[in-house]
Amino acid sequence: MKAIIIGAGFSGAACARRLAEQGCDVLLLERSAHIGGNAYDEKKNGAFVHRYGPHIFHTNNEQVVKFLSRFTEWFPYEHRVLADLHGVFVPVPFNLDSLHKTFPEDKAAKLEAVLLREYGEGKKVPILELRKNPDADVRAFADFVFENIFRFYTEKQWGRKIEQLDPSIMQRVPVYVSREDRYFTDTFQLQPKDGFTALFERMLDHPNIRIVTGTDALTRLRVGEDGVFFDGAPCTDEVIFTGQADELLGYRFGKLPYRSLRFEFKTVPAPFQPAAVVNYTVSEAYTRISEFDKFTVERPAGDTSEIVYEYPQEYEAGKGMIAYYPVVNEENLALYEKYRAFLARFPHFHLLGRLGNYRYINMDAAVADALALADRLTADRED
Ligand code: FAD
Ligand code: UDP
């Protein structure tokens, strides 16, 4: 069996490795000059700098950890984020400590008691659910959190009114009815000891995998009503595509919306800020500042820190931008479905990954989906 995989991010790379280990010959095509996709990192002044924004590995999926642990050692890392509310730093997800930092003590104590009574200690409540609580005080509190943590940040991140977005986007960051101050509560919270790029190098180091970077697959792959063609000839290999379905098909049903980002990297005197990531939820044009030295590597504090500002922007096709986020809402999912349905007629063509499936997924889900697809293909194989 042969496979052509487009994209060397977590989806394409994990799929390539699994297929290669099942004896499949894999050709992996990557548009950019390097492997790793969005998770690519490089060392600068002792810190792993993530070129495409901060990447923290967290999962409840033990199989994914087991698979990736073959290619890296880890160090434990629990991510913490603060929101800067005009100079007052509060934990995000908004928790009971955030409540005490933003409300007068008597009011905060009263609200804490109501929240504990309504939801119970330890509950994680989606902000939109909290806003529907029958208690007027809880609703007023929820409105405060909505306005100070979610609205401005979400509208700048997505470039749309909050009402035009799928509620699942904000559900990624619930309100914690507890003192829990970790951004994630997954069982496994780890960072690769030698960085993500080294993990990818080892994952893709297999005699059955041939990697070609710096090649846009669309210069070699064509998909139309008449079939799937590679280098001009009808393609009988399995094709796994982790890029944008609309781009692949020449936007025949219209452009799928994506959000892009502009990153501004700086080296600054250390320490720079009070947490690894500070979110700007009520001010500034950037969404967040990440201080890589605080989370990508175990090392003594140096004199300088590597930081990055993230400025969201709309993705525009053909302008050399990178599509980072699918903009998930009903209308866009319906458009994506047209692309998916068109491609479903080719049994050897498979969409995969954050872009291929137009889904807002984390690294662990990308790996899990990739392994599942590889296992399905090798179980069904005829040769
Ligand atoms: P990608 O990493 O995007 O890889 C797709 C690859 O395909 C790219 O390398 C691209 O160049 C290539 N490609 C596309 N089209 C073509 C073509 N025509 N020809 C050749 N190559 C092509 N997840 C977490 O778990 N934790 C985090 O903390 C986290 N933080 C994130 C922060 C940011 C700013 C962003 C944008 C994402 C974050 N994610 C995080 C999500 C994570 O990046 C994705 O889950 C992961 O990258 C998905 O892997 P993928 O392989 O599907 O996509
Ligand atoms: N969000 C927000 N304020 C915050 C953090 C997150 O409004 O302080 C919303 C925002 O819409 C964001 C979404 O929750 O896009 C998901 O946040 P997450 O941190 O998962 O985003 P990512 O790291 O994937 O960019």
Pocket probe for ligand 1: among 38, 158, 251, 264, the residue whose CB has the most ligand atoms within 8 Å is 38
Burial class for 207, CB neighbours closer than 10 Å (0-12, 13-18, 19+):
exposed
Average pLDDT over residues 193-220: 98
The rounded Å distance from CA 39 to ligand 1 centre is: 7
Class of the 2-35+204-256+327-382 domain? alpha beta
Give the mean pLDDT of the chain: 96
* Residue 381: predicted pLDDT: 74
Q: Strands across the sheet with 288-291, in order?
A: 88-92, 81-85, 277-279, 288-291, 304-314, 258-269, 325-326
Q: Is 175:366 a contact under the CB 8 Å cutoff?
A: no
State if residue 329 touches ligand 2 by the CB under 6 angstroms criterion: no
pLDDT at 3 exceeding the cut of 80 = yes
pLDDT at 129 exceeding the cut of 90 = yes
Average pLDDT over residues 302-326: 96
State if residue 12 touches ligand 1 by the CB under 6 angstroms criterion: yes
The rounded Å distance from CA 291 to ligand 2 centre is: 17
Q: What residue has token string 């504090």?
A: 301
Average pLDDT over residues 305-323: 97
Ligand whose nearest atom lies closest to the CA of 369: 1
Domain ranges within the chain, ordered by starting residue: 2-35+204-256+327-382, 95-176
The two tokens of residue 71 are: 């290619």
The rounded Å distance from CA 79 to ligand 1 centre is: 20
Which residue has the CA at smallest separation from atom 53 of ligand 1?
A: 9
* Residue 306: predicted pLDDT: 96
Q: Which range, of 111-120, 217-226, 275-284, 291-300, averages the lowest pLDDT?
A: 291-300
pLDDT at 293 exceeding the cut of 80 = yes
Under the banding of pLDDT at 50, 70 and 90, the label for residue 52 is very high
Under the banding of pLDDT at 50, 70 and 90, the label for residue 274 is very high
Question: What is the four-CA torsion angle of 6, 11, 16, 22, rounded to 10 degrees?
Answer: -140
Q: What percent of the chain is predicted at pLDDT more than 90?
A: 96
Pure H helices in 229-328: 245-248
Which residue has the CA at smallest separation from atom 34 of ligand 1?
A: 53
* Residue 382: predicted pLDDT: 66
Pocket probe for ligand 1: among 199, 247, 363, the residue whose CB has the most ligand atoms within 8 Å is 363
The rounded Å distance from CA 7 to ligand 1 centre is: 9
Which residue has the CA at smallest separation from atom 41 of ligand 1?
A: 362
Under the banding of pLDDT at 50, 70 and 90, the label for residue 301 is low
- Span 94-107, pLDDT tens digits: 999 999 999 999 99
